Amino acid sequence: MSSQHPINNVRAMPEVEVPPRSLRPTPVAEVEGGWCIEFIDSPVSRPAYLSGLRRNNTGLIPVWNTDHLQAIRISREEDAIKIADGLGGHRVAYHEWG
């Protein structure tokens, strides 16, 4: 039986060279863009955005919210236009978040 303790057989990890902060890539803030449906009767300066759909006893009704972070974001303009027309002809506008 060996008198050597198992921990003595562990090799040290090689040193890892970390580049100086000035050479590290700078994270870039991502900007998300999308088309939103705005309630036709809301002011352009403070629009109400489509933020969801709610079911009632007659079907689905749109939910509107003035918080742009709650807005449904649609990637294609033509899809946003189809939805806006289906909801009764609301405005469609491009927005960016980031």
With a CB cutoff of 8 Å and minimum separation 6, the contacts of 50 are 36, 37, 38, 39, 62, 63, 64, 71, 72, 83, 87, 90
Q: Specify the higher pLDDT residue, 21 or 78.
A: 78
Helix intervals (H) in the chain: 77-86
Encode pLDDT of 35-69 as tens digits. Answer: 999 999 999 999 999 999 999 999 989 999 999 99
- d(CA 7, CA 98) in angstroms, rounded, equals 51
Q: Where are the domains of the chain?
A: 24-97
CA–CA distances in Å: residue 14 to residues 3, 8, 19, 65, 69: 27, 17, 16, 56, 47
Query: What pTM did the predictor assign?
Result: 0.68
